[in-house]
Every structure is written in C-alpha cells, then in structure tokens.
C-alpha cells in the first residue's frame, strides 16, 4: 500500500514540476508586464490604437473569423459525407483531406504561391488577406471535419430514429442532429479561431500584417521587449476570453474518435452518390493535389536543381529536427499519459482546464514568455540547450496528448481494473497487463501526431531555438527571404516528403503493432 | 458471516446508505439484494468487496473486521470474495484461458494449468479457450465470467445484475447453474437485482434496500407478510 502511495506522490510531484515549467513563464510574463513602470504600461497599451497596429489587429480578427466560418461549414459537409453517408473511397478521401493539416503551414503556403505565380495571378491578390484566408481554410477544414465527425459519431442512432418515426429526416437533422452537434460545431469554431489568430507563417510569408507578426517584429526587429510583452498579453487575453465560455465543451468533448464507438451509429444512403463524390474529389484535387504537384513542378522546372542537393543541404536540419521532435513527442506523450491518469484517478479536471488555457495561448506569446522566463542567469542552462525547445513543445502540445489519451482512458471500464484488483494484482501489474495494452494504440497515435506537430512547429521555435541547433521549419522559413523560388519550393517539397514518410511509418506501424485479433471488436 | 455495523456511505454529499446494520449468518446460501434503481444495492455489494470505502461504521466478514470508517482494513483480494460485474469486465485483449489464468497467476497457485482446464471443463467452455471475449455469445461470456471468479474458490461470490442483458431462456439456464454452484461449490452468493420475481424465485434470503436503508431482510416467503407499504408495492403483493 505504502509503495502505491509513493508512486502516486512521485507522479503528482513530477506533474506539478512539469506544470510549473510550462505555466510559470506565462505567469511571469503577465506579472512582468503589469508590474512595469505605469507610464510605460499605459504607453504600450495605448500603442495598440495606432494605425498600423490597429490594422494588424483588424486583419487578425477578419482572417480568424472568416477562416473559422468557412472551415466549420466545409468541415461539416465533409464530416457528414465521410461518417454518415456511405460515400465510396471515403477512407482514402479522408486521409487526403487531413494532409494539409498535418503538413507545415509554410509548405502549403509556398505551394500555393507557386500555383498562383504560375497562373500569373496579380501580385496584389497573391499577397493579400483573402489569400491568407483561403490557405488557412484549406489547412483548418480537416480539423473542423475531424471534430464534427467525432460529434456525429457520438449521436446515438436511437435518437435520430425516434425523430424519424415522427417527421422527415430533414426536420430530424435540423431539430435533433444539429442541436446535438452544437458543442462540436462551437468547439471547432473557437479552436480554429484561436489557431488562425496565432498563425505566423502564412501571413508572414504573404506579407499580410497581422497582430502576431507585429509582436514578432517588435521583439526581433525593434527589440522593444516591453511592448512585445504587452501586445502578447492582449493577444492572449483575446484568446482566453473566447475560450472561457467554451472550456466546458472543449474539455469534455471527444475530439479524437479513436477506440470503439460509444453507441449504435446510423448511416444514411445518399440517393445520388456521384454528385457529392465528384464535388469532394474536386475540392481535394484543387486544395491538396494541385499545390503539391506545383511544388514539385517548380522544384524541377530549373534544370540545375537536384532534389538530392537540397536534401544534402537540409540534412543537418532534418537530423536535428527529427531527434528533437522524437524527444519532444516522447516527453509530451509520457506526460500526457501521467496527466490523463492523474485526472482520471483523482478527478483533477482542473488539470485539463489549465492545459487547455496554456494551449490557447498563441504560439508566439509562448515563445516570448519562455524567453522572458528562462533567459536569466540561473535558468540559462535551459535557455541555451534544447531543453527550451522541449518545454516549448510541451507547452504547445501537451493538451492534445492529454485529449487523445484521456478520451481513450475514459473508454476503459473501471470494472476491468477492479476485477484485476479483486484477484490481488498490484497497481503496476494492472497497469502493465490491463491498462497499457488497451491504451497502447492511443499512446502510439499520440506519439506520432505530436511528432508531426513538433516537426512542423515554427512560431515558437523560431523565437527560442538555441545557437547551434538547426531546425527544418526555421531553416526553410529564414531562407525564403533570400533563396531563389525553386530552392524554396524544393526545400518545402523535402519537408513535405519528410512528413509523409513519418505519416506512412505511423500507418504501417499501427497496422503491424496493433493487428491483434481482439482489436477487431473495437 | 457478513456483518454491517452502523454503516453510512456518502458520494460527494449525497447519502447512499444511511446507518445500516445487518447480519447475514447463513453460509452456502443465495441472498438477493433487491431494490429500485439508485437505492444503494450496488454500493452495498461494492462495500462487501472492498471496492468502496465507508464513511462511518464497520464491515465484518467471518468475524474479521474488513472495513472500518474510511479505512479498508482487508484489501479486496484478501477477502476471499469473487465479484461478477454487471458488464462482466472480461478483459478484451485476453483469451478465455488468459482471463481465467490471471487470478491464479496472481495468487501463485501451483499446478494452475490443470486447475484451469478442470474449471473450463466444469463450465463447458474448454472449446472456447483460445477465443477472445468478443467472439463469444452473451451466455458464453457469462460462463467465462463465472469460471474466472470460481477458479479462485471464493467463499463469497458477489454478483451485480449479471443476467440483466440475457434473453429469458438463457437467464433461466444461468439461474439454474448459479443455484447449482451454491450447492456444489459451497459458496455464498450475494446477488443484486431489481427484478423481484427473480429474487423471490432464486433466493434463500432477501435484503430489500430502499433509499439507502434496509427495509427487509428475511426469506422470500415471509416477505409477503411483512408490514411495509414499500415492500408490498415493490413485490406486488
């Protein structure tokens, strides 16, 4: 018994220290900003009403609103087609739809730039706000579809069927399905709003001034740290305000539909499958395949360019990125499990709420706060090593890992562990023999998703990467300013292939590792 | 055999069982715990098992104090008690054989392989030993759950509405088997149900729980004459 208590105490302590490492910098940023000289604080706050800053805030809000609305609408259509209607090839189409979300946003941006330059689109249109909205919509539509799909799968067929006994399916959809789907719709809207508000790479590449790029400029170009910190807090406040009424939905909603379905699920036979199939294929052809094809075309259009040369050039970055991302994904998944387990064991729901708030903090603000907190003599050993990147990854992605793992943990009936307890199995043995095999797939999925996110993360790491570290997103992004177009495209193509290889490894690994017969029932 | 002394159980601030005192002395008997949904009958069972802590009072099994106040004095696996959960809790990633083997391995019982084979033979599930639980019918799953508990030779078997999801024919067969277990294996069964007909038919004794209190403890036959409006309404006298 004593041993069990010790393990639990140690886990709580470790989780506490880890939380402190990711939460304290944000607290310190807040404290540091408001405890400055009053006149400076007032000046910094009033500076947001200056023309340029105000315009950047306006652009940020317009982009976020438009992207959220469009992504949710499109995501809703795809979620319905892929999960409720028996659309042919839906598995392949779903994977294709997911691709832009899993690829680095700067890669998508470079690809679209290639398409538009080839099509001779006017530069004012390429480097414009609608272009940012378009690209971000293609990136975030899969996320909306993913969340809404999970919401649809949690609607018991009985509820729909009871309605269908009384009225037409159209009425049932409006009066029953949509209200039941409201949390998923609302959650995806808020989540996409926050993510697009924090997006750095796309507006920066297309030279559209947004609030995030304004903060980055103040920090990196003008070295006006106090103004950057104040602006960071304003941006965070916007995100947190949006999140506050939604935290209930976001913390309780099943985002990731892994594991078995909770209920009997009703499918719908489309009267005419060809029209939605053609529309879906056209959308995916133009938003996924065309830009990727143009990336390749642009790379090889210059005879001198060899993909191998580009790979050799990027080799140090590829190596560093992979090693750091693997370490990051391992740590985030490990702590994701510890946090999920502690939440389930001690009903510590507030842990998830804290992580959600940390997740909602824009990436650039996370970067600023980490610099403010760790760039001190006593903590410089963290700041000057890859530890700072690992902390940045944890701050950004721990919530996602906790969501994936705890959603699966919740699906394991308590009676499974109780039955083992009744037979005298010790806690660690129960964990090893019962919980771990049942959670294995979720841990694996979490590891790979976080690995992809870590590989693609730019907004935070561009601010904190220590000297001597060469990360792929940073290398590509910094070279976009002065490298020829075909080299930028080539580097983006390498990054794309790199992500695809990892995705394929994940799919293959899943097939090999989790092919046990008993999983058929799940 | 089992004694509850002034037992109170709260969940959050809601009282589930209120100052319960009860003594069940009959060994090798079938006792039903009967009550409406939310009356506290499953909690009573889980307290015997040691899966829940009391807030006040004490529980004694075979004269030995097993729970007192908010302390579990004897942990669940040392109470020599088996538990059949409502969802059966058969581990989906284990085969039938591995499900039954788990407890014996924990208790480090020598020659457990022959014990497993003998138990599977008794329950008629030898042919299913390499199957995963999702490949079994509802009735077969019940048999595996019973075999998994009985292989450890518990003195008391706690059953939480295990037949709730079976059809009438299977239910009748399983009831017969459970009654047979009491006789042959000399085990005392505590069986939670909300079906009064099932309780009247199967039980040697009945415990009727209503709103966290024990309304009746006695034989099914005597319950008809017991002076309680709730009980009369509940058992439809």
- The pLDDT of residue A261: 46
Here the ipTM equals 0.79
- The tokens describing B168, both together, are 């009438």
**Over the stretch A112-122, which tens digit does the pLDDT of each residue have?**
988 998 889 89
Nearest-Cα distance to chain A for B51, in Å, is 7
Delimit the domains of chain A by residue range: 52-214+259-296
CA-to-CA separations, A409 to A273, A447, B64, in angstroms, rounded: 37, 16, 36
Give dist(CA B202, CA B30) in Å, integer.
7
Nearest-Cα distance to chain A for B133, in Å, is 8
DSSP A467: T
- The pLDDT of residue A4: 52
Q: Which residue from A266, A298, A301, A244 is spatially nearest to A180, judged by alpha carbons? A: A266
Give dist(CA B81, CA B1) in Å, integer.
12
3-state SS class at A170: helix
Q: Which residues of A19-39 are buried (b: 16+ CB within 10 A; e: fewer)?
A: bebbbebbebbbebbeeeeee
Q: For an interface test with B, which of A259, A260, A413, A424 has the most B Cβ atoms less than 10 Å from its Cβ? A: A424
Give dist(CA A342, CA A406) in Å, integer.
10
3-state SS class at B24: strand
- The tokens describing B24, both together, are 């069940």
CA-to-CA separations, A496 to A104, A293, A455, A456, in angstroms, rounded: 8, 12, 11, 10
Cβ distance of B91 and A419 shorter than 8 Å = yes
- The tokens describing B155, both together, are 């003195």
Specify the length of chain B in residues: 237
- The tokens describing B183, both together, are 């006789």
Chain B residues within 8 A of A422 when measuring between CB atoms: 49, 51, 76-77, 81-83
Q: Which residue from A117, A123, A100 is spatially nearest to A485, judged by alpha carbons? A: A117
Chain B residues within 8 A of A423 when measuring between CB atoms: 77, 102-103, 106-107, 152
Nearest-Cα distance to chain A for B50, in Å, is 9
| A436 contacts chain B (CB < 8 A) | no
| B49 contacts chain A (CB < 8 A) | yes
B96 vs A254 pLDDT, higher one:
B96
Burial environment of residue A267 by CB neighbours within 10 A (0 to 12, 13 to 18, 19 or more): exposed
**Over the stretch B148-195, which tens digit does the pLDDT of each residue have?**
999 999 999 999 988 877 788 888 888 888 888 888 888 999 999 888
Give dist(CA A238, CA A234) in Å, integer.
6
Q: Domain A52-214+259-296, what fold?
A: MetI-like fold (1.10.3720)
Sign of the torsion angle spanned by Cα atoms A289, A292, A297, A300: negative
> How much of chain B, in percent, has pLDDT values that exceed 90?
44
**Over the stretch A141-192, which tens digit does the pLDDT of each residue have?**
999 998 898 888 878 777 777 777 777 777 788 888 888 888 888 888 988 9
* pTM, full prediction: 0.79
End-to-end CA distance of chain A: 34
DSSP A466: P
What single string gives the DSSP state of each residue in A177-188? Answer: IHHHHHHHHHHH
Nearest-Cα distance to chain B for A423, in Å, is 5
Q: Which residues pair with A313 in a beta bridge?
A: none
Give dist(CA A445, CA A450) in Å, integer.
8
- The tokens describing B17, both together, are 């069982």
Answer for the pair B70, B40: CB distance below 8 angstroms, yes or no.
Answer: no
Q: For an interface test with A, which of B104, B106, B192 has the most A Cβ atoms less than 10 Å from its Cβ? A: B106
Range list of H helices, A165-263: 169-172, 178-198, 201-205, 211-220, 225-243, 247-252
Give dist(CA A496, CA B189) in Å, integer.
63
CA-to-CA separations, B216 to A73, A196, B227, in angstroms, rounded: 60, 64, 10
In this structure, what are the phi and psi dihedrals at residue A171, rounded to the nearest 5 degrees? Answer: -65, -40
Which value, in Å, is the radius of gyration of the alpha carbons in chain A? 24
What single string gives the DSSP state of each residue in A440-452? Answer: HHHHHHHHHHHHH
In this structure, what are the phi and psi dihedrals at residue B109, rounded to the nearest 5 degrees? Answer: -85, 125
Report B:102-121 residues touching A (Cβ under 8 A).
102-103, 106-107
Q: How far is CA A61 from the centre of its chain?
A: 19
- The pLDDT of residue A5: 57
From the list B49, B134, B152, the residue facing A521 with the nearest CB is: B134
**Positions in chain A whose pLDDT score sits under 70:** 1-6, 36, 245-265, 303-305, 517, 519-522
What single string gives the DSSP state of each residue in B98-167? Answer: HHHHHHHHHTT-TTHHHHHHHHHHHTT-GGGTT-BGGGS-HHHHHHHHHHHHHTT--SEEEEESTTTTS-
| B139 contacts chain A (CB < 8 A) | no
Give dist(CA A221, CA B74) in Å, integer.
67
Torsion of CA A290, A294, A295, A300, to 10 degrees: 150
B89 vs A345 pLDDT, higher one:
B89
**pLDDT of residue B53 exceeding 60:** yes
Give dist(CA A239, CA A237) in Å, integer.
5
Chain B residues within 8 A of A521 when measuring between CB atoms: 92, 132-134
Biggest alpha carbon distance in chain A?
73
| B75 contacts chain A (CB < 8 A) | yes
Q: Report, as an integer, the average pLDDT of B6-28.
A: 90
Q: Which residues of A69-80 are buried (b: 16+ CB within 10 A; e: fewer)?
A: ebbbebbbbbbb
3-state SS class at A61: helix
Cβ distance of B106 and A521 shorter than 8 Å = no
- The pLDDT of residue A303: 64
């Amino acid at each position: 018994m004593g041993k069990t208590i010790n393990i639990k105490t140690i886990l709580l302590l470790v989780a506490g220290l880890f939380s402190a490492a990711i939460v304290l910098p944000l607290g310190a940023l807040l404290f540091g900003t408001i405890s400055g000289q009053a006149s400076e604080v007032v000046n910094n706050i009033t500076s947001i009403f200056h023309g340029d800053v105000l315009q950047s805030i306006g652009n940020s809000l317009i982009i976020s609103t438009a992207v959220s609305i469009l992504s949710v609408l499109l995501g809703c259509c795809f979620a319905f087609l892929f999960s409720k209607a028996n659309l042919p090839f839906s598995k392949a189409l779903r994977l294709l739809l997911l691709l832009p979300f899993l690829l680095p946003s700067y890669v998508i941006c470079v690809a679209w730039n290639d398409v538009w330059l080839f099509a001779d689109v006017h530069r004012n249109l390429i480097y414009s706000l609608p272009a940012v909205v378009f690209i971000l919509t293609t990136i975030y539509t899969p996320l909306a579809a993913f969340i809404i799909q999970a919401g649809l799968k949690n609607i018991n067929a009985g509820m729909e069927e009871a309605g269908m006994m009384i009225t037409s399916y159209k009425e049932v959809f409006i009066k029953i399905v949509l209200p039941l789907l409201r949390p998923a719709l609302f959650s995806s809207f808020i989540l996409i709003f926050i993510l697009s508000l924090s997006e750095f790479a796309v507006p920066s590449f297309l030279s559209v001034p947004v609030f995030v790029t304004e903060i980055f400029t103040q920090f990196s170009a003008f070295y006006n740290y106090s103004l950057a910190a104040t602006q960071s807090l304003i941006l965070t406040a916007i995100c947190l305000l949006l999140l506050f009424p939604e935290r209930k939905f976001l913390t309780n909603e099943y985002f990731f539909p892994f594991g078995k379905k909770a209920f009997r699920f009703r499918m719908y036979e489309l009267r005419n499958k060809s029209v939605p199939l053609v529309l879906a294929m056209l959308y995916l052809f133009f938003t996924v395949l065309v830009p990727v094809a143009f990336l390749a075309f642009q790379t090889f259009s210059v005879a001198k360019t060899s993909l191998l040369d580009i790979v050799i050039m990027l080799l140090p970055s590829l190596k560093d990125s992979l090693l750091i991302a693997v370490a990051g994904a391992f740590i985030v998944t490990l702590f994701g499990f510890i946090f999920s387990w502690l939440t389930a064991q001690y009903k510590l729901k507030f842990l998830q709420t804290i992580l959600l708030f940390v997740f909602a903090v824009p990436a650039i603000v996370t970067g600023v706060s980490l610099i403010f907190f760790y760039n001190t003599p006593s903590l410089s050993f963290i700041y000057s090593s890859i530890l700072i990147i690992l902390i940045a990854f944890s701050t950004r992605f721990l919530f996602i890992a906790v969501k994936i793992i705890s959603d699966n943990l919740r699906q394991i009936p308590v009676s499974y562990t109780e039955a083992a307890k009744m037979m005298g199995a010790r806690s660690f043995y129960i964990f090893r023999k019962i919980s771990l095999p049942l959670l294995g797939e979720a841990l694996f999925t979490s590891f790979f998703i976080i690995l992809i996110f870590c590989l693609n993360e730019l907004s935070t790491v561009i601010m904190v990467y220590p000297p001597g570290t060469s990360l792929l997103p940073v290398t590509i992004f910094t070279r976009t300013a002065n490298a020829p177009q075909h080299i930028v495209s080539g580097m983006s193509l390498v990054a794309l292939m790199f992500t695809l290889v990892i995705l394929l490894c994940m799919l293959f690994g899943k097939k090999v590792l989790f092919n046990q017969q008993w999983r058929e029932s799940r | 055999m089992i004694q509850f002394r002034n037992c109170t159980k709260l969940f959050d601030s809601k009282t589930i069982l209120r100052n319960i005192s009860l003594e069940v002395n009959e060994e090798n008997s079938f006792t039903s715990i009967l009550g409406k949904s939310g009356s506290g009958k499953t909690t009573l069972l889980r307290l015997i098992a040691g899966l829940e802590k009391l807030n006040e009072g004490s529980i004694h099994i075979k004269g030995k104090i097993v729970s007192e106040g908010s302390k579990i004095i004897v942990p669940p696996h040392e109470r020599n008690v088996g538990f059949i959960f409502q969802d059966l809790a058969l581990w989906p990633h284990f085969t039938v054989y591995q499900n039954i083997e788990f407890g014996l391995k924990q208790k480090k019982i020598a020659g457990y392989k022959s014990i497993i084979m003998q138990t599977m033979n008794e329950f008629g599930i030898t042919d299913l030993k390499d199957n995963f639980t999702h490949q079994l019918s509802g009735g077969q799953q019940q048999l595996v759950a019973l075999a998994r508990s009985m292989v450890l030779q518990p003195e008391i078997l706690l059953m939480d509405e295990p037949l709730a999801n079976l059809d009438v024919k299977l239910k009748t067969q399983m009831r017969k088997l459970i009654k047979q277990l009491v006789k042959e294996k000399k085990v005392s069964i505590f069986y939670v149900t909300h079906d009064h007909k099932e309780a009247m038919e199967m039980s040697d004794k009945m415990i009727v729980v209503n709103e966290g209190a024990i309304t009746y403890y006695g034989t099914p036959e005597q319950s008809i004459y017991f002076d309680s409006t709730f009980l009369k309404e509940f058992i439809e006298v």
